Structure 1
């Protein structure tokens, strides 16, 4: 197995923090994936039942397959296994999720938050100034989605 560059690499001090980061980000992604599954369960059932009782032009079950397309897009954005290279997308997603979520993946958001925190503390900032900078970044990401 090839370990990623960000993983543990011999010297405890040099590899410890990238490793801890990978563990914490993996845990965050597990939580996000589970939240997605909890939401997806009733939404997919409702879409499937709705598809049985409505007549739409085209493929039977279109609403259900649209839910699957959105779920696939969200799963790819979570990319739970990115610490070991991730996995390949199953193909281009045509879902509407892209319009609502923007192009940011979980890794992109984590990376940007890390950069802001490092920059704030590197310039002599305090925890309060780092928190304010992270809040501005998250507001910017949220506003870009609209």
Structure 2
């Protein structure tokens, strides 16, 4: 996996983050603060994007990845999907994100996203919905 790179100043990646359903409800200052801390992560197929002990929150920009917990596949993620909502909301089941194709994801510190979720109820609701959908898929319901 390549070293993460700054997103701040990368117009295409910044535009992707700004247009994401998750972050549209943030005010301009909060969005700027979030983008300044973001890092773009590139991984080849088979590489781990986020290990189980990681404290990051990820927004998939390109490629396809799989969520794994204890070796069990919990779902596939593609462009626009997020990973790490449990890390943000608390009570997370340890899970990893593994690239199935070449992947680019935007990584944010989960504590920063958690602070944003406290300030912006719409962001919290979207993260809760993502967690509920992932749990439902994991249980085959």
Q: TM-score, normalised by structure 2?
A: 0.27
Task: Return the structure number with greater relative CO, CA threshold 8 A, min gap 6.
Answer: 2
Look at both structures and tell me which one has the larger radius of gyration over its CA atoms.
1
Q: Which has the higher helix share?
A: 1
